[in-house]
Structure 1
Amino acid sequence: MAKQIHLAAFMNGGPMGTTGWRHKDADPAFMKASYYRNAARILEAARFDLAFIPDALSMPRSLGNSFRPAVEWGSGTPRLDPLVVLGVMAGVTQHMGLAATISTGYHEPYNLARELATFDHMTDGRAGWNIVTSFQDAEAQNFGEAKLPPREERYARAEEVLQATTQLWDSWDDDAIIQNKPTGVFGDPAKVRSVDYKGKYVSTQGPLSVPRPPQGYPLLIQAGASPRGRDFAARWADIIFSSNESLESAIAFRADIRKRAASFGRDPDQIKLLCAASVVVGETDAEAQAKHEAFADLVHPLAGLSRLAYHCNVDLTKYDLDGPLPTLEDVGVQGHYEEVVEFAQREKLSIREIGRWYGARTEGNMIGSATTIADNMEQWMERGAADGFMVQATHLPGAFTEFADHVVPELQRRGLHRTEYPEGTARDLLGLNRPQRDEWMNRAER
C-alpha cells in the first residue's frame, strides 16, 4: 500500500499574504466568521489532517522602521487571534486538527496550558500548538523590551515553557475525575498533583484547573531551521513545518531532523515533516503557469520586500536594492532566509527582484495540472523529502477549492490520500502516539 500523504492547510487569521487579497476571486470578508467557516468546510470535505494559522504579536516595522509598509501593502497584517478563529472553524468540523501559533516568549505556561487544554477538550482532541519563540523586535517592543533576546536565550526560555506547560497538562491523571453521585465524590485528589516548577525564566505552582487533554498533549508543532531550532524541534515536536526551495534541500533537512530525533531517544517515525507547497492548479500545466504569472504581476516589489523584511527582521532599505542580498548573520525566520538565499544565488537576483519574487513565491514546484502536482508530491514522498505537505493558498477560498476539487481526487485515485476520516483525535489522524503522563521528562532530560 502506498504511503499516505498528510495534508495541512496554511491560512492566515486575516488576508492571505502580501498579494492574495488582490486576486480577483479573493473573498475580502476576512473579518467575518463566515470566511473561516467556508474554508473549514472545504478542507474537511477534502479530508485534510490539519488547518494551521500563523501569528505574530505586532504590526511589522522591519522595513524602514515603520508600520506604514505593512498597512499599505498588507504584509503580515492584520492578525486576528488564531484560537478564536479556530474556535469558529471547530464549530463546522468534526475531524480535522486545528493548530494555532502561540509564542513562548510572551505567554506564560499556565495560560498556555489552560487555553490549549480547554480547546483540546472542546474539539474532542483536535488542538495543535505551533511553538514559536517570536522573530521580530516589534513584538518585544509590545511587551516592554527594546529588542528580542538573542536566539539562544529565546530557545532556553522555550525549553522551560515546554517543560512547565507539559507538567501542567500532566498534573491530572487521565482518570482523576470520578463523579460518583451517590457518594458525592467528584474526583480523586491522589490523582492530581502540584507542579512547583521553578526555572530561570518561568515558574508555576499548579495543578492546572483543567483536566488532562484528550490527546495527552495537544499536537506540538515547530518550524525551527537554525541548528538550535532543529534540536528544539527534534526534541519536542510531533509535526515539523519546513520551507525548502528545492527537493534536494528538503531531503537533507528531513534526514537531519530524523538523525537528531534519534539522538534524543525518539522514534523518528513519530515526527511528521510537512513541506510548504504553494499550489497553483490548472486544467493544463500551461494554464497553471499562466495563472501563476498573472498572480505574480500583482506583486509590487516593495510589497514583497516588506514581507521579506518582516520574516527576516532586517531593514532591507539599508542596502542597495539593485544590488545582491548581503549575508545576514541574525535573521528572524531562518528557514525563509535560507530559501531566499538558495533561490537568489541560483537566479542571480537583486534585492528588488527578490522582493517581487518573494511576494508570490511558490514552494515545492507545485504549479501545474492536478496530475503534475500529484506527480511532484508523490516524488517528494518517495525521495524521503516529506511525510506530507503544508498547502499554502494564493487566495481564499478559491485556491483551496481548486486543490480540493482537482488534486485531492487524483491523490485519492492513487491511494495516497484518505477517502474517509478514521475515528479518533488529531494524533490518530497523523499516526502519532498519545503521550503518556510524564512524557515531558523523557524529552527534557535527554
Structure 2
Amino acid sequence: MPSKRQISLGLFLFASGHHVAGWRCPGAQSDATFNPSFMADMARKAEAACFDMVFLADNNCIQQDDWLAVRRMARPNIFEPVALLSALSMVTRRIGLVATGSTTYSEPYHIARSFGTLDYLSNGRAGWNIVTTSNSLEAWNFGRESHPAHADRYKRAAEFVEVTKGLWDSFEDDAFIRDKESGIYFDASKLHVLHHKGEHFSVRGPLNLGRPPQGHPVLVQAGGSDAGRDLAARTAEVIFAVNQALPDAQAFYADVKARVAAHGRDADLVKVMPGFFPVVGRTRTEAEDHMAELQRLLHPDVGLSLLSFLTGGFDLSGYDVDGPLPDLPDTDVGKARIKVIADLAKRENLSIRRLYERIAVSRGHHMIVGSATEVADRMEEWFEGKAADGFNVMPPTFPAGLDAFASLVVPELQRRGLFRTGYAGTTLREHLGLPRPAHLSRGQVALPA
C-alpha cells in the first residue's frame, strides 16, 4: 500500500551543477550563472516534473578568496536571488520559488517587502530561506571589520523573523476595499502599525504592501547547530538539513520535531528536507562511469581549497593529503557542517584527498550513485524511516543531472505512490500541505471621530 504521506521535492538550482567540476563536463551549461534563460528552462523542467519548489542559495560575497582555486570554479557570478525568482515567476505557473535572505546583512523591512512582492508576482509561491550567514567574508562588504559571533547572529535572527512577520501583517487580508463610490481605497481600521522596539531592531511600520497572498511566504531555515535547530523549531515551516548517514538523519529529524512540539507547534507541519546529491544512470554502471568522469575533472587545488573553506577556513595546505584529517579547532561559523565533515572522515577513515573528493561532490550532503531504482530505494528508506519528509535535490550537472532525475527517478517514485503525478493546488503552501497563517492583529490605527 502506498504511504499516506508523500515526498516533497525541492530543486537546488546552483551554477552549472553541484559537483564543483560539473561545469567542465561535456554538455554542461558552463555559463549557467550568467544565463537567465537557462535558469528559466531548469525551473520549467522542475515544474513539469511536479517539484514543490526551486531553491536559490545566496552569498553577499565571492565565497572564497583563494584565487588560484576560485578561478577554476563556476561560482563567482551569482544573480541576486529575489530578482531572478521574480523573473522565473513570469515563466512558471505552479512551482514554488524559494530564495535565501540573510538576517545578518539585511533589514527586516527589506526582506518583508522583497519576499512579499515575490509572493504577489508569483500568485503565492514564495518562500524565504532564513540564514544568519556563516561566511565571514561578507562582513567586509558591509562596512564591518569582523563577522558577528554565532550566538549574536542567532539572537538577531530570532527577532528579525518576528519583525518581518509583523510587517507582513501590516494590513488585514480584506483591508483593500477599493470603493469607487465612497472614495475609500482601504479600510484604515484594518491597518496595523508594528511599533517594534527590541534589542536589535526599531521598526515602526507599516509595510507599504498588502498582506501577501500566502499570508506569509513559506519560512525555510537551514541551520544545523543547536542555535540553528532552536530557531528552526520556533519559526521554520521547512528545514533544509545536512546529513550523511541514515542514523544521523534520523537523530536530527527526531530532535528538531521534538523541539517544534516543545514550542507548541504541530511537528507534522514542519517539513525536514535534507540535501540529496544523486548521480543517476539507467544502470549502476552508467552512473558510476559518470561519477568517475566528474571526479577526473576535479583539480586538486579546487578540492583542497573547498575542503578548507567548508571546515571553517582551516589551512590544510601543510598536511599530507594522503594522511588523515587533523583535529579541527572550534570555530564560530558553519558548526553543523564541520561536524558532518569531521564525522564522515572518521567514520569512513578517509584521507584528506579522499575527503575532498567526497566533499567537492556534495559539500557534506548525502550522495548516492546508482540506477533509478536504487536512488528511489534510498529516498524511500529515509522517508519511511523518519529521516526526511522530502529532499532538496542537488543534481551534479545541469541540465543532464536534472534530466536524469526527472525522467528516471520521479516516475519510479510516482509508481510507488510516493510522489504526486500532478499539482493539486497553486501555492507553495498548498504543495507542502501547510496552512495559511492567521493574521496577528496588533498596533491598530485609531482614526479620529
TM-score with structure 2 setting the length: 0.93
Percent of matched pairs sharing the same residue: 39
**What is the aligned partner in structure 2 of residue 385 from structure 1?**
387
**What is the aligned partner in structure 2 of residue 259 from structure 1?**
258
| Residue of structure 2 aligned with 1:60, choices 40, 63, 86 | 63
C-alpha contact 2:126 2:218 (8 A) present in aligned 1: yes
Q: Structure 1 residue 305: deviation in Å?
A: 2.7
SS class of match (1:277): strand
Output the aligned Cα RMSD. Answer: 1.8
**What is the aligned partner in structure 2 of residue 327 from structure 1?**
328
**What is the aligned partner in structure 2 of residue 372 from structure 1?**
374
Give the Cα–Cα distance (whole angstroms) in 1 for the partners of residues 400 and 313 of structure 2: 33
C-alpha contact 1:37 1:92 (8 A) present in aligned 2: yes
**What is the aligned partner in structure 2 of residue 35 from structure 1?**
38
Describe how 1:146-165 pairs up with structure 2 within 5 A. Answer: 146-165=145-164
C-alpha contact 2:307 2:359 (8 A) present in aligned 1: yes
Describe how 1:114-133 pairs up with structure 2 within 5 A. Answer: 114-133=113-132
Q: Which stretch of structure 1 is more off in the superposition, 163-172 or 346-355? A: 346-355
Give the Cα–Cα distance (whole angstroms) in 1 for the partners of residues 312 and 188 of structure 2: 48
Q: Structure 1 residue 287: deviation in Å?
A: 1.7
SS class of match (2:178): strand
Deviations 1:263-301 (A, max 9, x none): 111110010000111011111112212211221221122
C-alpha contact 2:30 2:74 (8 A) present in aligned 1: no
Give the Cα–Cα distance (whole angstroms) in 2 for the partners of residues 175 and 70 of structure 1: 54
Q: Structure 1 residue 131: deviation in Å?
A: 0.6
Q: Structure 1 residue 433: deviation in Å?
A: 1.1
Q: 1:399 to 1:260 in 2, by over 3 A?
A: same
Describe how 1:403-442 pairs up with structure 2 within 5 A. Answer: 403-438=405-440
SS class of match (1:360): helix
Q: Structure 1 residue 140: deviation in Å?
A: 0.8
Q: 1:76 to 1:329 in 2, by over 3 A?
A: farther
Deviations 1:169-193 (A, max 9, x none): 0111011000111211110001001
Q: Structure 1 residue 439: deviation in Å?
A: 9.3
Give the Cα–Cα distance (whole angstroms) in 2 for the partners of residues 330 and 408 of structure 1: 39
Give the Cα–Cα distance (whole angstroms) in 1 for the partners of residues 409 and 350 of structure 2: 32
Deviations 1:244-281 (A, max 9, x none): 11011000000000010011111100100001110111
Give the Cα–Cα distance (whole angstroms) in 2 for the partners of residues 310 and 14 of structure 1: 20
Q: 1:147 to 1:76 in 2, by over 3 A?
A: farther
One-letter amino acid of the structure 2 residue matched with residue 161 of structure 1: F
Paired positions, count: 436
Give the Cα–Cα distance (whole angstroms) in 2 for the partners of residues 137 and 268 of structure 1: 33
**What is the aligned partner in structure 2 of residue 443 from structure 1?**
none
Q: 1:151 to 1:439 in 2, by over 3 A?
A: farther
Give the Cα–Cα distance (whole angstroms) in 2 for the partners of residues 82 and 346 of structure 1: 36
C-alpha contact 2:314 2:328 (8 A) present in aligned 1: no
Deviations 1:39-58 (A, max 9, x none): 01110000000100101111
Q: Structure 1 residue 60: deviation in Å?
A: 2.5
Deviations 1:104-155 (A, max 9, x none): 0011111110111111011011011111111111101111112211100000
Give yes or no for the alignment of 1:8 onto 2:7.
no
TM-score with structure 1 setting the length: 0.93
SS class of match (2:71): helix
Q: Structure 1 residue 424: deviation in Å?
A: 3.0
Give yes or no for the alignment of 1:399 onto 2:401.
yes
Give the Cα–Cα distance (whole angstroms) in 1 for the partners of residues 376 and 29 of structure 2: 27
Q: Structure 1 residue 330: deviation in Å?
A: 1.3
Give the Cα–Cα distance (whole angstroms) in 2 for the partners of residues 290 and 367 of structure 1: 10
Deviations 1:374-420 (A, max 9, x none): 11111111111100111001111111111111111111111111111
C-alpha contact 1:381 1:387 (8 A) present in aligned 2: yes
Describe how 1:227-376 pairs up with structure 2 within 5 A. Answer: 227-317=226-316, 319-322=318-321, 323=323, 324-361=325-362, 363-376=365-378
Q: Structure 1 residue 307: deviation in Å?
A: 2.4
C-alpha contact 1:137 1:313 (8 A) present in aligned 2: no
Moved segments of 4+, more than 4 Å: 13-17
